[in-house]
Amino acid sequence: MARALIIATNGFEQDELFKPREALLDEGAEVTLASLSRDPIQGEKGGEKGASITPDALVTDVRADNYDVLVIPGGVANPDEMRAEPAAIKLVRDFMTAGKPVAAICHGPWLLAEAEVVDGRTLTAWPSIRTDLRHAGATVVDKEVVVDGNLITSRKPDDIPAFNRELLASVGIRQAEIA
């Protein structure tokens, strides 16, 4: 059974957390949501307040060794706040160093740039952070999903079907069609 770690805090893009989480759970994966506190975190959908979810763990208490894949949802506030947390940066580096899949969507790759793991990699992201990613050494392309080794990235909520397909494939789950 695959073990997935999702890291998020307030301001995550609702579909970018819930839909990959649901796809993983539907395939029998064990999914842990880690955040900066144990209080419920609130998502956003289209710039409006969205659904909340209660984290299972603290980012400071989880280790890459215990998981097979890391998922980083977007939303503007979520990765912006997460990239100021040393434990989140360490998690990203630990997953990347171990060669484990890291899947980031929308603004999520901001955390990858902060962790200094995108130099020489090809990825995609929300248009407003693409310059930041280039400055961090990445080659940025405009595609619904990009897989570069263990790194999976997508641009926006509309790309979630392709993102989920590659996310599940990264942990050995393949389906013809994933919503």
What does each of the 179 residues of the chain score in pLDDT, given as a tens digit?
899 999 999 999 999 999 999 999 999 999 999 999 999 999 999 889 999 999 999 999 999 999 999 999 999 999 999 999 999 999 999 999 999 999 999 999 999 999 999 999 999 999 999 999 999 999 999 999 999 999 999 999 999 999 999 999 999 986 544 44
Alpha-carbon distance of 48 to 5, in angstroms, equals 25
Please determine, looking at this structure, whether the domain spanning 3-170 carries the CATH number 3.40.50.880. Answer: yes
Residues annotated catalytic, as ranges: 106-107
Domain ranges (residues) in the chain: 3-170
Q: Which residues of 112-151 are buried (b: 16+ CB within 10 A; e: fewer)?
A: bbbbebbeebbbbbbeebbebbeebebebeeeebbbbebb
